[in-house]
């Protein structure tokens, strides 16, 4: 866990808006309401997104403040699960089942309706026994100062994070260019020419 120990690469944000009075109780409710939940169907290919504890990705209960709030720092993680099937193997298996059907029914060509049915059945069968790809990304938020670090530089991951953060806390996130943190204009100009724009922090 990069935020808890060791070096990390993170994107920095400022949370826009006021933190409400009594935010601890309100944010407990907000985090629990948007915590990660297992999908209803084991055959779903949709992304499942929600908050989890940074200490254990299976812990989705934020009722205990001591598990995620340390003085003014809120520490939690974004979990994203998604199931996918190996395309080449799936296609080859479907073709094989199609040939078997044609042999069993004495037909040279596989009807489109039968192919679709075979495809749906194979997809259902495989998704039931396939484990999702699990991605967990840490978040640290200085609730007092409004600074937020998200432990990923992936644009898709950051877009997903900003959307859920706003839905959970009602606060928009504005990206901070690390060059804005440098007071030396000459150094800032030199770094600007390198094209670097992400924050690398040693904790």
Question: Helix, strand, or coil here: 89?
Answer: helix
- Residues 164, 119 within the same domain: no
pLDDT in tens, 136-150: 999 999 999 999 999
Predicted confidence at residue 41, as pLDDT, reads 86
Is 1 a member of any domain? no
Of the pLDDT bands very low, low, confident and very high (cuts 50, 70, 90), residue 79 is: very high
pTM value is 0.78
Nearest to 140 by CA among 151, 130, 124: 151
C-alpha to C-alpha distance for 117 and 7, rounded to whole angstroms? 50
Is the pLDDT score of 189 beyond 80?
no
- Residues 91, 121 within the same domain: yes
Predicted confidence at residue 201, as pLDDT, reads 44
- Domain termination site, one of 69, 99, 129: 129
β-strand partners of 140: 75, 149
- Residues 70, 103 within the same domain: no
Of the pLDDT bands very low, low, confident and very high (cuts 50, 70, 90), residue 5 is: low
Of the pLDDT bands very low, low, confident and very high (cuts 50, 70, 90), residue 7 is: low
Predicted confidence at residue 71, as pLDDT, reads 93
Q: For the chain, what is the domain count?
A: 2
- Residues 17, 79 within the same domain: yes
Is 156 a member of any domain? yes
Question: Mean pLDDT across the stretch 27-49?
Answer: 93
- Residues 11, 72 within the same domain: yes
Domain that holds residue 147: 7-84+135-202
- Residues 48, 107 within the same domain: no
Question: Residues 83-101, buried b or exposed e (16+ Cβ, 10 A)?
Answer: beeeeeeeeebbeebbeeb
Which residues, including other chains, have CB under 8 Å from residue 8's CB and lie 6 or more apart? 2, 138, 151, 200, 201, 203
Of the pLDDT bands very low, low, confident and very high (cuts 50, 70, 90), residue 199 is: very low
């Amino acid at each position: 866990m990069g935020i808890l120990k060791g070096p990390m690469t993170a994107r920095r944000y400022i949370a826009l808006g006021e933190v409400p009075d009594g935010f601890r109780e309100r944010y407990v409710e907000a985090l629990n309401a948007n915590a990660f939940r297992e999908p209803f169907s084991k055959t779903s290919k949709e992304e499942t997104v929600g908050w989890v504890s940074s200490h254990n990705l299976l812990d989705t209960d934020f009722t205990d403040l001591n598990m995620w709030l340390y003085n003014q720092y809120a520490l939690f993680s974004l979990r994203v699960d998604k199931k996918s099937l190996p395309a080449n193997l799936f296609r080859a298996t479907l073709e094989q089942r199609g040939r078997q059907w044609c042999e069993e029914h004495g037909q040279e060509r596989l009807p489109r309706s039968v192919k679709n049915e075979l495809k749906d059945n194979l997809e259902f069968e495989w998704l039931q026994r396939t484990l999702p790809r699990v991605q967990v990304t840490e978040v640290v938020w200085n609730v007092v100062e409004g600074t937020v670090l998200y432990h990923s530089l992936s644009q898709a991951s950051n877009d997903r994070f900003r959307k859920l953060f706003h839905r959970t806390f009602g606060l928009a996130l504005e990206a901070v260019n690390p060059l804005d943190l440098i007071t030396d204009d000459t150094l800032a100009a030199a770094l600007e020419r390198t094209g670097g724009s992400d924050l690398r922090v040693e904790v």
